[in-house]
Amino acid sequence: MPKVSASTSSPASPEQVWQLAVDLPRYAEWLTMHDAFSGDVPGTLEEGAAYKQRVKMMGMPADIAWKVATANSPGHLEITGDGPMGIKAINRFLIEPGEGGSNITFEMEFNGPALNGPMAKMAEKNAGAAAEASLEKFKNLLG
Protein backbone atom coordinates (compact mmCIF):
# COMPACT_ATOMS: atom_id res chain seq x y z
CA MET A 1 0.00 0.00 0.00
CA PRO A 2 1.60 3.28 -1.07
CA LYS A 3 1.81 5.76 1.79
CA VAL A 4 3.57 9.10 1.70
CA SER A 5 4.08 11.88 4.20
CA ALA A 6 5.32 15.46 3.91
CA SER A 7 5.96 17.81 6.84
CA THR A 8 6.74 21.49 7.27
CA SER A 9 6.45 24.26 9.81
CA SER A 10 4.74 27.62 9.49
CA PRO A 11 4.51 30.79 11.60
CA ALA A 12 0.71 30.51 11.20
CA SER A 13 -1.25 29.38 14.23
CA PRO A 14 -2.83 25.90 14.24
CA GLU A 15 -6.22 27.62 13.88
CA GLN A 16 -5.07 29.49 10.74
CA VAL A 17 -3.66 26.26 9.28
CA TRP A 18 -6.92 24.47 10.07
CA GLN A 19 -9.00 27.15 8.32
CA LEU A 20 -7.07 26.62 5.09
CA ALA A 21 -7.08 22.81 5.43
CA VAL A 22 -10.89 22.68 5.66
CA ASP A 23 -11.52 25.34 2.96
CA LEU A 24 -12.40 22.93 0.15
CA PRO A 25 -12.99 25.59 -2.55
CA ARG A 26 -9.32 26.64 -2.09
CA TYR A 27 -7.93 23.13 -2.73
CA ALA A 28 -7.35 24.08 -6.38
CA GLU A 29 -4.82 26.68 -5.13
CA TRP A 30 -2.51 24.18 -3.47
CA LEU A 31 -3.40 20.52 -4.07
CA THR A 32 -1.29 19.64 -7.12
CA MET A 33 -3.24 16.44 -7.89
CA HIS A 34 -6.55 18.36 -7.99
CA ASP A 35 -8.19 18.63 -11.42
CA ALA A 36 -11.82 19.57 -10.73
CA PHE A 37 -14.80 19.05 -8.45
CA SER A 38 -18.06 17.57 -9.65
CA GLY A 39 -21.43 18.14 -8.05
CA ASP A 40 -21.93 20.10 -4.85
CA VAL A 41 -18.80 21.34 -3.10
CA PRO A 42 -19.09 21.97 0.65
CA GLY A 43 -17.73 25.36 1.68
CA THR A 44 -15.92 23.77 4.58
CA LEU A 45 -15.03 20.26 5.65
CA GLU A 46 -16.65 18.81 8.74
CA GLU A 47 -17.24 15.22 9.80
CA GLY A 48 -19.61 13.47 7.42
CA ALA A 49 -19.20 16.00 4.59
CA ALA A 50 -18.94 14.35 1.18
CA TYR A 51 -17.83 15.53 -2.24
CA LYS A 52 -16.52 14.26 -5.57
CA GLN A 53 -13.22 15.26 -7.08
CA ARG A 54 -11.29 14.48 -10.23
CA VAL A 55 -7.57 14.08 -9.54
CA LYS A 56 -4.61 13.39 -11.79
CA MET A 57 -2.17 10.77 -10.68
CA MET A 58 0.70 9.66 -12.88
CA GLY A 59 -0.86 11.79 -15.62
CA MET A 60 -4.15 9.88 -15.54
CA PRO A 61 -7.47 11.36 -14.39
CA ALA A 62 -9.45 9.54 -11.72
CA ASP A 63 -12.75 10.40 -10.03
CA ILE A 64 -12.80 9.95 -6.27
CA ALA A 65 -15.79 10.14 -3.92
CA TRP A 66 -14.51 11.61 -0.64
CA LYS A 67 -16.01 11.64 2.85
CA VAL A 68 -14.63 13.40 5.92
CA ALA A 69 -13.98 10.71 8.53
CA THR A 70 -12.38 12.92 11.21
CA ALA A 71 -12.45 16.68 11.69
CA ASN A 72 -10.97 17.50 15.09
CA SER A 73 -10.19 21.22 14.95
CA PRO A 74 -7.46 22.35 14.86
CA GLY A 75 -5.35 19.22 14.85
CA HIS A 76 -6.60 16.27 12.78
CA LEU A 77 -8.43 16.11 9.45
CA GLU A 78 -8.88 12.74 7.76
CA ILE A 79 -10.70 12.24 4.46
CA THR A 80 -11.37 8.80 2.99
CA GLY A 81 -12.05 8.19 -0.67
CA ASP A 82 -13.27 5.56 -3.10
CA GLY A 83 -11.75 5.67 -6.57
CA PRO A 84 -11.83 3.60 -9.75
CA MET A 85 -10.75 -0.06 -9.90
CA GLY A 86 -11.36 -0.57 -6.17
CA ILE A 87 -8.80 2.02 -5.08
CA LYS A 88 -9.24 3.34 -1.55
CA ALA A 89 -7.52 6.58 -0.55
CA ILE A 90 -6.90 8.48 2.66
CA ASN A 91 -5.72 12.09 2.93
CA ARG A 92 -4.72 13.25 6.38
CA PHE A 93 -3.68 16.61 7.87
CA LEU A 94 -2.00 16.63 11.26
CA ILE A 95 -1.50 20.09 12.76
CA GLU A 96 0.42 20.61 16.00
CA PRO A 97 1.49 23.76 17.82
CA GLY A 98 5.14 24.43 17.14
CA GLU A 99 7.72 26.97 18.16
CA GLY A 100 6.38 30.24 16.84
CA GLY A 101 3.51 28.67 14.87
CA SER A 102 2.55 25.21 13.66
CA ASN A 103 4.01 21.90 12.54
CA ILE A 104 2.03 20.49 9.61
CA THR A 105 2.04 16.95 8.24
CA PHE A 106 0.18 15.94 5.09
CA GLU A 107 -0.20 12.20 4.50
CA MET A 108 -1.66 10.26 1.59
CA GLU A 109 -2.37 6.52 1.45
CA PHE A 110 -3.68 4.41 -1.43
CA ASN A 111 -4.80 0.81 -1.43
CA GLY A 112 -6.43 -1.52 -3.91
CA PRO A 113 -5.75 -4.32 -6.36
CA ALA A 114 -4.73 -1.87 -9.12
CA LEU A 115 -1.84 -0.71 -6.92
CA ASN A 116 -0.05 -4.01 -6.42
CA GLY A 117 3.43 -4.87 -7.63
CA PRO A 118 5.40 -2.31 -9.64
CA MET A 119 2.41 0.08 -9.76
CA ALA A 120 2.69 0.55 -5.98
CA LYS A 121 6.23 1.94 -6.26
CA MET A 122 5.29 4.22 -9.16
CA ALA A 123 2.22 5.50 -7.30
CA GLU A 124 4.25 6.06 -4.13
CA LYS A 125 6.93 8.03 -5.99
CA ASN A 126 4.34 10.15 -7.81
CA ALA A 127 2.25 10.74 -4.68
CA GLY A 128 5.35 11.61 -2.63
CA ALA A 129 6.35 14.34 -5.07
CA ALA A 130 2.74 15.59 -5.17
CA ALA A 131 2.51 15.69 -1.36
CA GLU A 132 5.75 17.69 -1.06
CA ALA A 133 4.75 20.16 -3.79
CA SER A 134 1.22 20.51 -2.39
CA LEU A 135 2.41 21.17 1.14
CA GLU A 136 4.87 23.81 -0.11
CA LYS A 137 2.04 25.61 -1.95
CA PHE A 138 -0.19 25.22 1.13
CA LYS A 139 2.50 26.78 3.35
CA ASN A 140 2.95 29.70 0.94
CA LEU A 141 -0.79 30.46 1.09
CA LEU A 142 -0.50 30.79 4.87
CA GLY A 143 1.82 33.78 4.35
For the cut 80, the answer to whether the pLDDT of residue 42 exceeds it is yes
Parse the chain into domains and list their residue ranges: 3-141
Query: Given the DSSP bridges, would you call strands 34-38 and 60-72 parallel, antiparallel or unpaired?
Result: unpaired
pTM of the model: 0.91
pLDDT in tens, 100-130: 999 999 999 988 887 777 777 888 888 899 9
In tens, the pLDDT along 73-105 reads 999 999 999 999 899 999 999 999 999 999 999
Task: List the one residue out of 124, 142, 141 whose CA is nearest residue 6.
Answer: 124
| CA 30 remoteness from chain centre | 10
The answer to whether domain 3-141 has CATH 3.90.700.10 is no
DSSP output for 40-66: ---SS--TT-EEEEEEEETTEEEEEEE
Distance CA 108, CA 69 (A): 14
